[in-house]
Each structure stands twice: as structure tokens, then as C-alpha cells.
Structure 1
């Protein structure tokens, strides 16, 4: 009977992949379980949704990452239950796995704040499938508008509503504005770019909450210069098939995109641990859970407060640093009493707004415009896994920058109604 320790990692996102990389070619058996077979670079999903990049540019098979690591196994499956007492877990297909160490990096899903029926009319951007659905809706809407001669009747099809003023919402609004105001319009003859309307709807008083107010204001001004109407202090009260309702009125459109908040995976509840209001598990300073030093929760699924009392944000750099930290603990079999508390090194926050437009806050230094866009581009390309992906995305972006052309604009009817 082998005495080799077994570490299971749930989730092939930034946190899970980073933990597994620390453990590859070690003396520990590693199993990565994910319901998808690929690692996805989520920050660039909006580029797929707006036809700037193809899905293969921002995703890579998990098996390809660890193909040369003999101790790492990849299992395609969905974990539905964790038994922390017995150190076992169960998949949706009833398979069970035992573990010595467990790293839960199950990620997050969009939070519709109790209105889950809104998801069908207002999809979010958490998967390639989501991005393709949004892309298809945008393209189909343009085709519908092209067939209608009455400007009033085609107005809904040339209207876009993005709900949520965080980085994803801002990036999506800017990308759609570029499509609607410049890029694709030359291909359509029956309407003009001036008929397009883009709304970014935020329930709070500021977009990019968490960014310095000065940068958030610059982002708002840049969006409005691009033709985006930014609606602040405007909570959504109802969403139907082709309508967004607010207290102040409503907007008719089939093009509704949700980017207004996330909640932890429902799997977190099976750990039977204290959770915050979004479902994230409250973890110890070493990212383990109470009384179980060999079970760790990281990334979007973990609630860990910084020195100022605020929880760490659900960002890729946070998940990656947590993954490396936990991986080293497991690799070295570090006892809980000897573990140094996890400390996040904040390398800055940034968001892109459009072509050569972005905002960045790096160690107190604030950038906007072209310089911030260059920083954003370099950092995001650097985080892409695989040399081929980096080169391909760089070439695609340069082509887009100089030609103003978009990439894949195919309609397959996969998501059409």
C-alpha cells in the first residue's frame, strides 16, 4: 500500500492551476477536478463576446498544461459534495475520491440577488459559452436592425444595456461602443452608427468601485466620449425578455448583459463552515478552514480580511498568489503552527475602456489613457498560459489596433431563439 499523499484541487482556474504548478513533479499525487477541460483566462472573455478574439485565444486544455507532469491527473467532473470528516468528496456522476489535502478553488458565479430568473434574459460572462451567447446576441441584433426600415422599430436592436459598473461592465461597455460606433457599422447599409445607444447601469454612485475616485471619473468621461450613457445610482428593479426596468423608467432591448456582482459556488455550503453574505467561506490566515488544517479554500470562494478589515478582492492575482502559497504548504507538509499568514502583495488594479484607453492604479501611481492601456495589455498577455497564446493574442490586438477590424463574426444560430 502506497504512503504517497494525495492532494485534490477542485477547479482549474487561476488559483487551482497555480497550486498544481507548485506541486508538479513533487512526491505528492495531485488530482485536478473541473467540470470543464480547459483553463480560461476570464479577464479577456469580453473580447470573445465582442468578436475581437476567438475562444481558443484565451483558453488552454488543462491536460496540456500538465502533460509532462507524471504526478498530476486531470478529471473531468463536477464536485457536488465534500465530506471533510472522512476526507472524501463526491462527483455528480456518483464517483468518490479520498484525499489527504484538499484545495477548493471552485470560483464564483454571477449573483442576481435573488432574481435568478433574470439570468436567461441578462447573461453574464463567466464561461466561453456565456461569451459566445453574448456575441451571438449582438450579431443577431445587428442583422435584425438591418432588415427594419423604420428607425423607431429598429431602435431596440441597436440598444445595449450593461448592468454593473465594475471592470467587466466598463470593459464590455467600451468594447460594444467601439463595435457600435465604428468597427462593424461599415458592414451594414440600412442604419448609421448614430442610431446606436449603449447604457452602462450602476446601482452605486461610482463606476469602478474600489478604484481611486479620480480614475473612476476619468473612466466615466472616456466612456461618455465614446458614446456610452453612464447611469449612476440606478438600481435595476426588473428584467424581462427585452426590457430593463428601473424606478426612473425602462429601456427596451434584447441586448442585456449582467456584470453586477458575483456569489461563491454553491459547493461551499457543503463544507458547513461560516460564510459571508456572498457565500464565500471565511478562512484562517493560512487559508485553511477551522479545525481542518489540510483543507484550504482559495480565490473567489474564500473570504480573508486584510489588515484594514476589508476582504481580499476576487481578482486573478489574488487567486494566483493564494494558490502558490497553499501549494508550498502542501509540498513541504508544513504543520499549521509553523505556517506564516498569507499576505497578498497588491501589484495594482486596472481596467481597459477601449482602444488605447484604460485606467490603472499601480502602487499609488495613477495612469490613464494610452500608457494605462499599454500596461493593461502587457500584464494581461503575460498572464496568458502558453507562449503560443501570448504571441497570437498580441498579433490579433496589433491587427485590430491598426486596422480597426474585428475577428470572428460568425452566427451559428446556437443561441438564437
Structure 2
């Protein structure tokens, strides 16, 4: 066995970038270990649909072990990383164990960022994990259940008010789907309330929603949301979040359900390495995506700040993470095989997509821009294509066709504890 046969690549994070790197290294003479705190890979672009009862969690997540089972040189370990011993070349785990490496890829993802107001998190949950999705689904559905019991009109209005903070793709998609859920899916299910009276408010501190898109597509998306009954408030920053509601623009908006889609921060990987980081905590990497000062450590995906020139950075989206994973795998292979290292990483923008409810979307591919139903079908086909496995593609496609034709969402299940609902029933 040669030296390169023994080369051990440890990948921390089983997201898009980490799995892409693992797959491209698996065909080579490497030992690969994928370490993640969860046992599943999550298709995050559709996570909001699990949070709004459109899809079941099992339709957008897959066990990491099953995804890598055909690669005998790939090992999957369940564990939470807490640091890196760069001198001893080992990843440190929260339980005290160590995972040695020859080359390390950090694909540790991102977490919610509340811009210095972490005390808002209990009242305004974000959406990054399956646990977040089921928690948000419980909050949304329980709000209608509690309103059905509520005799006080003012409290009922508060219970039926949903505030989404942040008007990027996730915020827009959440707002549109919640509006459809209230105005269409649930309207015949309750007797004491009219769910169509639900108020969905989308709040954006910037001058317009979906700022990554062109102004005309952004304006179309706002009009589409208005047609769904969503109230869009731009240029208003939130100054307070509490169990009672939110404060913005000198006004207090009573709301029982507040969802956070305004910002993310990188994992603490930069702190582990004492590496240079941007304001979001992402490691400012070298042109070959290695960490400054560590040629044997790479950072990709939401962990990395990758410059594109003109003050721009590579966006934290799935296609970018996959491109970075493939690139880093190529760099590692070239080094171990003593071949020329690939040219510096260059991001290829495959376009931006966002959906507004079940009949409208916007698509910006650069060379062509689409909006409306044609854009929605384009968005749907693209997302089904990137799902893993024929069963999941068929299940999601059939679920969407059912929702599109009937308006009904089959995943309307309240799971887990809901303290407020229990308290209301005990009164």
C-alpha cells in the first residue's frame, strides 16, 4: 500500500458540499470519513415545505450512511465536532473523542443569526434543520387550533397573525405558503373561525424583497404575494420580538407566530482555527479554498467566505457548495497524485429561483428571466431533478400535483409538545 492509499480525508458536515467532496474522492485511493452531528443529509431548499405541511420530512432527507454505502472506503460517523487540534491533526468531538486526519474539509454549515439579539430566538425560530421545520409546523398549525378555542376577538386576531422577518427566498416562500394554507387548505376545516381572516406579514429591512434578483422580478414577486393576501413591509427593521409580537417602524404588531428568515451566521469553525473571518463568521479562504496558514485544511459551503471580485462573494446556496466540494476533491487528488493543482476556484452561477405559492415563481438564469406559472414549473422540475432517489422524486412530484390541483396538504400533523396549546385546553 502506497502513501497516498493511506491518505485519510475527514469531512466535517454531510451537507451538499461535504457529500459532493466525499463522492468525488471515493473513486480514488483515499480513506474518507464523513462526520456529522445528525445521521441525515437534508435537502434544505425544500425545508420550508416541511415547515408548512406541504411535504413530509422523510421526503427531503436521507440517511448519510445509505448515500455512501456503495463506497467501501467511506466511513460515516455520528458525532458533534467541537474543535480542531491542528498540531496533532485531529478533529475534536464534544464527547472527548478525536478523529485523526491527513486532510480536513470543513463543511459545517450555518446557524441562525439575530444580529446581536439572541434573546429573540425563543420567540422567532429560524429554519435550518428538520427539528426547526417540525417545530415551526407545530407553531403554525397550533395557532389555528388555539384560535378555534379563543372567544376574545383581539386575541384571536393575534393568534391568526403570522410575521415572517426577512424577505429572501426562504421568507418569501414561507409567507406565500402560509397564506395559501390559511386561505385555501384550512378554510373548511374549522367551525368557530374563518381561517381566511389570517394575516401574514412579511417584514424586510431593505428597500425591496428578494434583493438577489433584478428589480422587475422582485416587484413581480411582491405583487404575487399581495394577490395571495400577504402584507409586505419593506424598509422597516424589527426592533423587538416577544411572545406578544414584534415592534417595527414605531408600531407594535401583535403576532402569535414569528418566523426568522433574516440572517445566518457560520458555524464556529473560524474560532476553532483562529482563522480570519468575515462579519458572518465565515472563514476567508485562499483561492484554492484552503484555510490561510493551513494547506491541509479546506473550508466550503456556508463555512467559507469565497471572494468573486468587485466586492462580491460566492452565495451560500446548494449549487455553490456542490461546486466547491467538487473543486476541493480535485485539489486533494492532484496533490496526492503529484499532478498540477487546478486553477483557483471560479463559481459558475447557474441562476436564482424562488417560488411564491403554488402557482407563481421567478427564475433568473442570466440569459433568460421567467415569472409566473412557467417559472413555477421550471422551479419545480429543477428541484425534483436534484432530489435523491426515484422514490423521493415521485413522492414529491405527486404531492405537488395534488396540492396544485386540490389545494390540500397531507402533512398537517401536530407532533411534539405544544405548551401553549396544553395551557389553553386546561383553562
> TM-score, length-normalised on structure 2?
0.95
Of residues 45, 48, 51, the one that matches 1:49 is: 51
Residue 88 (structure 1) aligned with residue 90 (structure 2): yes
Query: Could you give the per-residue CA deviations for residues 336-376 of structure 1, whole angstroms, max 9, x where no partner exists?
Result: 97331111111100100111110110123211001111111
Residue in structure 2 matched with residue 340 of structure 1 by the alignment = 343
SS at match of 1:48: helix
Contiguous gaps of at least 5 residues in structure 2: 421-427
SS at match of 2:192: coil
Say whether the 8 Å CA contact 1:204–1:232 is kept in structure 2: yes
Off by >6 Å, runs of 4+ in structure 1: none
1:192 is displaced (CA, Å) by 1.8
Q: Please, what is the CA RMSD of the aligned residues?
A: 1.5
Say whether the 8 Å CA contact 1:79–1:267 is kept in structure 2: no
1:415 is displaced (CA, Å) by 4.1
Residue in structure 2 matched with residue 60 of structure 1 by the alignment = 62
Tell me the number of residue pairs that the alignment of Structure 1 and Structure 2 aligns. 417
Residue in structure 1 matched with residue 76 of structure 2 by the alignment = 74
What is the alpha-carbon distance in structure 2 between the residues aligned to residue 297 and residue 303 of structure 1?
9
Q: Measured at CA, do residues 415 and 42 of structure 1 come closer, stay the same or move farther in structure 2, by a change above 3 Å?
A: farther
SS at match of 1:333: helix
Contiguous gaps of at least 5 residues in structure 1: none
Residue in structure 1 matched with residue 38 of structure 2 by the alignment = 36
Residue 281 (structure 1) aligned with residue 283 (structure 2): yes
Residue 350 (structure 1) aligned with residue 370 (structure 2): no
Residue 397 (structure 1) aligned with residue 404 (structure 2): no
Say whether the 8 Å CA contact 2:334–2:340 is kept in structure 1: no
Residue correspondence of structure 1 range 196-207 to structure 2 within 5 A: 196-207=198-209
What is the alpha-carbon distance in structure 2 between the residues aligned to residue 390 and residue 359 of structure 1?
22
Say whether the 8 Å CA contact 1:298–1:322 is kept in structure 2: yes
Say whether the 8 Å CA contact 1:25–1:70 is kept in structure 2: no
SS at match of 2:208: coil
Q: Measured at CA, do residues 336 and 150 of structure 1 come closer, stay the same or move farther in structure 2, by a change above 3 Å?
A: farther
Of residues 218, 221, 243, the one that matches 1:219 is: 221
Residue in structure 1 matched with residue 391 of structure 2 by the alignment = 388
Residue in structure 2 matched with residue 296 of structure 1 by the alignment = 298
1:290 is displaced (CA, Å) by 1.7
What is the alpha-carbon distance in structure 2 between the residues aligned to residue 96 and residue 415 of structure 1?
38
Say whether the 8 Å CA contact 2:147–2:156 is kept in structure 1: yes
Query: Could you give the per-residue CA deviations for residues 163-220 of structure 1, whole angstroms, max 9, x where no partner exists?
Result: 0000000000000010111111210121224421000000110111111011011001
Say whether the 8 Å CA contact 1:137–1:416 is kept in structure 2: no
Residue in structure 1 matched with residue 423 of structure 2 by the alignment = none
Query: Could you give the per-residue CA deviations for residues 238-278 of structure 1, whole angstroms, max 9, x where no partner exists?
Result: 11113111232111122000000110002321111110011
